[in-house]
Amino acid sequence: MAEPEFSATGVRIARWLRSLTRAGQVVVRDGRLVLLTSYGREIDSAPVEQVRISGAWYAAPDRALATINGNRYALRLKGQMRDGLMAALHGARSRVPGIAAERRAAPR
C-alpha cells in the first residue's frame, strides 16, 4: 500500500446534524478519498475525481464540506488542514490520466 498523499487525524465528521465520529481520519491515497472512524472503520470513500470539497470563505478555516457518493459530510479538521486537503485532492486529480486530458481539451 502506498504512502498517503494526505492524512488528517482527529477530524470531527458529521452527516447533517448527526455526528459520526469526533476523532476520525481523512486520507487521500491511491487516487481515493477515504473517511474513517476513530476505530479505522470506513465511513465512505470514492475516487478523487468524484469528490467535491468546499470551504466557504466566511466559514472557519478548519471546516470543510465534502460530497462523496452523493452524501454530504461536514468535516472539522484540526488547525488549517482544509487547504492541505484541497491541495492533495487537486494534486491527485492531476495525476488521473483521463481527468488531465479532459481539462486540456476542454474549450474555455
Q: Can you give the pTM of this predicted structure?
A: 0.85
- What is the extent of the structural domain holding 87? 6-105
Check residue 9 and give its pLDDT. Answer: 95
Burial bucket for residue 84 (CB in 10 Å: 0-12, 13-18, 19+): middle
Residue 43 lies in a domain: yes
Cell numbers linked to 49: 475525481
The pLDDT tens digits of the residues spanning 11-65 come to 999 998 899 999 999 999 999 999 999 999 999 999 999 999 998 777 788 899 9
Check residue 99 and give its pLDDT. Answer: 56
Burial bucket for residue 38 (CB in 10 Å: 0-12, 13-18, 19+): middle
Give the separation between CA 103 and CA 25, rounded to whole angstroms.
30
Is residue 1 over pLDDT 90?
A: no
Average pLDDT score over residue span 67-85: 92
Number of domains in the chain: 1
CATH number (domain holding residue 23) = 2.30.29.30
Residue 1 lies in a domain: no
